[in-house]
Structure 1
Amino acid sequence: MKLKRSSRLVDMTHYLLTHPHELVSLTFFSERYGSAKSSISEDLVIIKESFETQGIGMLMTVPGASGGVKFLPFIKRETAEQFLSTLITKLSSKDRLLPGGYLYMTDILGDPLTVNEIGRLIASAFFHQSIDVIMTMETKGIPLAYATASQLNVPVIIVRRSSKVTEGSTVSINYVSGSSKRIQSMVLPRRGLQSGAKVLVIDDFMKAGGTMKGMENLINEFDAELVGCAVLVETKEVSPKLVNDYLSLLKLNEIDDSGEIAVGIGNYFNYFKEAHHE
């Protein structure tokens, strides 16, 4: 279809935003709009400048006959700081405290705009990494996993506590919960993870890291590779954790005798600096 330049820019921007981490050739855009590659290249320069100025992401050019452009989403540091500050305010409310030192987060994990922004933050920290799949444990980590996966353009696999007949044969392991010290099980379909796949593990809350460690062991059973771990909230009370290397957006620092909750920013910006070469 032949479009005016303004319409072409809008459509190209939309396509790139909805196909992150996908290599798109200039030929594809040229044929899509019936325009010369030189015009497409000029359009991409405009889009690239806009993405980077607004902190939406970067448009990477891949040279060569099989090259093209690839949109890599990321977030500006100041935007990330503002968003995390808003989350801290929400999570610091007294009425969020649950028995066992957990926080009520169901409303946050059920808000699409909030969850999508969390996914963008996590994806920003790993956008230079080669990732094939996102892994999470049922159930509350699922929205975070899908939000991150949409930014990285990779599939999601869900580890369950018991096997489902609809998933065929499974691999099952036992692991020790880091906080309760109880032995629990987790299972994954044999078809769920390919050997050699690069896996990013995501969860909503971490105390000692037993669930994360269990998923790491499960990944090893499939001869896959753990690329990184990310969690929305970690607790300060259990140290050291059972996993050595993980990203946390927020940290539950303290709960005093009156029930006041002290939440702060986790180690997120250590990963952010590495990813963005700050």
Structure 2
Amino acid sequence: MKWKRSERLVDMTHYLLDHPHKLIPLTYFSDLYESAKSSISEDLGIVKETFEEKGIGLLMTVPGAAGGVKYVPKLHKEEIKAIMAELMEELSHSDRLLPGGYLYMTDVLGNPNMMNRVGKVFASAFADEKIDVIMTVATKGIPIAHAIARHLNVPVVIVRRDSKVTEGSTVSINYVSGSSRRIQTMVLSKRSMKSGQRVLITDDFMKVGGTMNGMKNLLEEFDCTLAGVAVLVEAEHSDERLVEKYLSLVKLHEVSEKERTIALEEGNYFTNGGI
């Protein structure tokens, strides 16, 4: 089958978007479309220009015999700010206020379109880092973890509060909850990670950071390295943070259960190492 250029561009774009951060040899496309490498290079040039102009991401070329092209999802700053603004608008409704200063976010976490964009925002920030695994704790952090993993093309591991027979042998640690100061337990299957991996940990909500700190301590049991921390919403808190460096998209500045008001502002994404 002889592919037309328009057909090659559509199929090539689809493949690249489905395989972020994967190095693809030019010979793969050349053999697939039965086209000369010079034609494939011209096609990729068109894709690269469009990706960058539309803020879809970068198309990086790696020279040499073992080289190829790699799609790196990366959003423009304006698009990230628009996503932050949309999140703040959605989370500012007074009926989301829960006892203890928490916000109801289950519907937002269950919105695939929003989670896909949130995942791409965090993937943009960690695009230049070597990330091997995304870690989160069950259950509300799972949608965010999978969204980030989708754009970084890495697996997800899920920390649980108790051991499951389906997990096999596990590693268990005790940690102190940052807000309640209670001793709690984290469990992770021994098969989840390999020694030496770089791990990005994420969750939907953070007050003092006890859960994040617990996951950080769990990494040490696997001889893995913390590569970053990504939080959807952080809460203003008078206590000292247990996690020093992290990225957040939204900050819960102040809540009034009596007045039923919620004050939100942009998180530290741009001030603490994001794009």
Fold in common (TM above 0.5)? yes
Give the whole-Å Cα distance in 1 for the aligned partners of 2:110 and 2:69: 34
- Is the 1:163–1:187 Cα contact (8 Å) retained in structure 2? yes
When normalised by structure 2's length, the TM-score is 0.98
1:72 aligned onto 2:72: yes
| AA matched with 1:36 | A
- Is the 1:205–1:231 Cα contact (8 Å) retained in structure 2? yes
**Pairwise mapping of residues 1-278 of structure 1 onto structure 2 (< 5 A)?**
1-256=1-256, 257-271=258-272, 274=273, 276=275
| AA matched with 1:260 | T
Give the whole-Å Cα distance in 1 for the aligned partners of 2:102 and 2:144: 18
How far did 1:240 drift?
Answer: 2.1
How far did 1:259 drift?
Answer: 1.9
| AA matched with 2:114 | T
| Range 63-72 or range 254-263, more displaced | 254-263
Give the whole-Å Cα distance in 1 for the aligned partners of 2:119 and 2:164: 28
Note closer, same or farther for the CA distance 1:275–1:106 as it changes in structure 2 (3 Å cut). closer
How far did 1:83 drift?
Answer: 1.4
Give the whole-Å Cα distance in 2 for the aligned partners of 1:34 and 1:188: 47
How far did 1:237 drift?
Answer: 1.9
| AA matched with 2:234 | E
CA RMSD of aligned residues (A): 1.0
- Is the 1:128–1:275 Cα contact (8 Å) retained in structure 2? no
How far did 1:255 drift?
Answer: 1.1
How far did 1:139 drift?
Answer: 0.1
Give the whole-Å Cα distance in 2 for the aligned partners of 1:269 and 1:43: 34
| AA matched with 1:53 | E
How far did 1:56 drift?
Answer: 0.5
Give the whole-Å Cα distance in 2 for the aligned partners of 1:275 and 1:163: 35
* Corresponding residue SS for 2:271: helix
Give the whole-Å Cα distance in 2 for the aligned partners of 1:85 and 1:250: 9
Give the whole-Å Cα distance in 2 for the aligned partners of 1:64 and 1:275: 31
| Range 230-239 or range 47-56, more displaced | 230-239
Q: Which runs of 5+ in 1 are unaligned?
A: none
How high is the sequence identity, in percent, across the aligned residues?
Answer: 62
- Is the 1:207–1:238 Cα contact (8 Å) retained in structure 2? no
How far did 1:208 drift?
Answer: 0.6
How far did 1:193 drift?
Answer: 0.9
When normalised by structure 1's length, the TM-score is 0.97
- Structure 1 segments (4+ residues) deviating >3 Å: none
Q: Which runs of 5+ in 2 are unaligned?
A: none
How far did 1:275 drift?
Answer: 5.6
- Is the 1:160–1:188 Cα contact (8 Å) retained in structure 2? yes
